[in-house]
Amino acid sequence: MTAKVGSIRRVLNGILFKLPGMITCAQFEDFIVAYLDGELTKEELRIFRRHLLVCRDCKRYLADYERAMKCVKDMSDEIKSDLADVPEDLVRAVLAARQK
């Protein structure tokens, strides 16, 4: 039943996304990096946001995409604070190799 509802929604969206000023989910996908980098023009941003208003799959997808990025950022902050110790053995090896 859920699969059937999903499939009907996709058919309706397929028609909706062909209207002027609309984009498909596949085109929306191509805009994501530029959107997050703040590189979309005003018109592109309007079209991108319009798609988000009507497509709950892309809305959920973008939210999870941003949460995944936040997981990477949190991990990155943590490993950077762990990188404070200079590996003395390696420093000595590099300085010794330079003199050869």
Partner 1 sequence: MDFEVLVRTNVTWILALANVILKDHAKAEDAAQLAFLKIHKGLDQFEGRSSMKTWMYRIVVNEALMIRRKDKSREESLIDAMLPRFDKNGCRFAEETINRETGETILSKKQQQDEVQRLILALPDQYRIVLYLRDIEEMTTAQVATVLDISEANVKVRLHRARAALKKSLGPFLAGGKF
**Which residues contribute to the site for partner 1 (CB under 8 A)?**
6, 10-11, 13-14, 17-18, 24-27, 29, 32-34, 37, 55, 57-58, 60-61, 64-65, 67-69, 71-76, 78-79, 83-87, 90-91, 93-95, 97-98
CB nearer to partner 1: give 53 or 72. Answer: 72
Residues 6+ positions from 25 with CB-CB distance below 8 Å = 13, 17, 51, 55, 57, 58
Closest CA to 35 of 25, 22, 48: 48
Secondary-structure percent of the chain, ordered helix, strand, coil, rounded to 5: 80, 0, 20
- Residue 92 CB, shortest distance to partner 1, in Å, is 10
- Residue 83 CB, shortest distance to partner 1, in Å, is 4
